[in-house]
Amino acid sequence: MTASRHALIIANDRYTDHGLKKLNAPAQDAAALEKVLHDPHIGDFEVEVVHNASADLMRRRIQRFFNERSRADTLLLHFSCHGLKSESGELYFAASDTEPPLLAATAVPSQFVRSCMATTRAGRTVLFLDCCYGGAFSKGSASVRASGDVNVLESFAKDEPDSGRGWAVITASDSMEYAFEDNRLTENSAARPSVFTHAVVQGLETGEADIDADGKVSLDDLYEYVYRHVREQNPNQRPKKAAELHGELHLAHSRRGRIKIAAIPSPPALKAALSSDAFLERQGAVLELDKRLRHPELPRAEGARQHLEEVARNDVEQIADLAAKCLSDIRLQPAPDHLDFGRVPQGSAPPKQSVTMHGPPLARHCVAQPQQAWLRVDPTPGGLDVHIDTTAEGHLSGDIVLKGVADESVIHVEAVITPAHQRDSGGSGTGPSNGSTKATQGSAGAGHTAVIGQSKTPPPPAKPPVTPTVPSGKAPPPPPGPALALAVAALALAVTALITLVLAIQSAVAAIMDRSDAGVYGNIEDNVREHGALTPLTVCLITGAAALITGAIARHDLAARRDHYTGQAAGRTRTLTSIAKGVAIPALVLAVLAGITYLVGSGEW
Q: Are 339 and 319 contained in the same domain? A: no
Residue 18, domain extent: 5-193+237-253
What does the pLDDT read at residue 447? Answer: 40
Quote the mean pLDDT of the chain: 78
pLDDT at position 90 is: 84
CATH number at residue 170: 3.40.50.1460
Q: Which residues contact 406 (CB under 8 A, 6 or more apart)?
A: 305, 327, 330, 331, 332, 362, 363
Lowest mean pLDDT among 164-178, 203-217, 507-521: 164-178
The verdict on 339 and 308 lying in the same domain is no
Last residue of a domain, one of 253, 278, 304: 253
Name the strand (E) or helix (H) holding 201.
helix 195-206
Select, from the ranges 213-222, 316-325, 461-470, the one with the highest average predicted confidence (pLDDT): 316-325
368 and 308 in a single domain? The answer is: no
Determine, yes or no, domain membership for 56: yes
| 36 is a domain residue | yes
212 in any annotated domain: no
User: Are residue 434 and residue 312 in the same domain, yes or no?
Assistant: no
Q: What is the reported pLDDT for 5?
A: 93
Q: Does the residue 583 lie in any domain? A: yes
pTM above 0.85, yes or no: no
Question: By C-alpha distance, which of 542, 535, 544 is closest to 506?
Answer: 535
Q: Each residue of 186-226: pLDDT tens digit?
A: 334 444 458 889 899 988 988 888 877 677 889 998 999 89
pLDDT at res. 137: 38
Q: Give the residue from 478, 527, 248 showing the smallest Cα distance to 352.
A: 478
- The mean pLDDT of 568-590, rounded to a whole number, is 84
d(CA 351, CA 340): 11
* Same domain? 186 vs 287: no
Measured CA to CA, the distance from residue 204 to residue 199 in angstroms comes to 8
Q: Is residue 204 part of a domain?
A: no
- The least confident of 186-200, 262-276, 503-517 is 186-200
Q: What is the pLDDT of residue 480?
A: 57
Report the candidate in 344, 342, 397, 341 with the shortest Cα–Cα distance to residue 374: 397
Tell me: do 28 and 177 sit in the same domain.
yes
> What is the C-alpha separation between 196 and 203, in angstroms, rounded?
11
150 and 18 in a single domain? The answer is yes
Same domain for 174 and 297, yes or no, is no
- Domain assignment present for residue 23? The answer is yes
What would the 3-class secondary structure string for 308-320 be? HHHHHHHCCHHHH
DSSP output for 102-141:
GHHHHEEEHHHHHHHHHH---SEEEEEE--B-S--S-TT-
Q: What is the pLDDT of residue 430?
A: 41
CATH for 376: 2.60.40.10
pLDDT at position 433 is 37
Q: What's the rounded Cα separation, in Å, for the pair 450 and 442?
A: 6
Least confident of 45-54, 492-501, 556-565: 556-565
Residue 529: which pLDDT band, with cuts at 50, 70 and 90? confident
Q: Which residue has the higher pLDDT, 450 or 120?
A: 120
| Domain annotation covers residue 215 | no
Domain boundary, last residue among 223, 253, 283: 253
Largest CA distance in the chain: 111
Instruction: Say how many domains are in the chain.
Output: 4
Q: What is the pLDDT of residues 71-115, one digit of tens each?
A: 889 999 999 988 888 877 788 999 999 998 899 999 999 999 999
**422 with 545, same domain?**
no
Same domain, 349 and 432: yes
Question: For position 577, what pLDDT does the model report?
Answer: 84
Domain presence at residue 165: yes
Q: Is the pLDDT of residue 332 over 70?
A: yes
Same domain assignment for residues 422 and 503: no
State whether 355 and 380 are in the same domain. yes
pLDDT class of 448 with cuts at 50, 70, 90: low
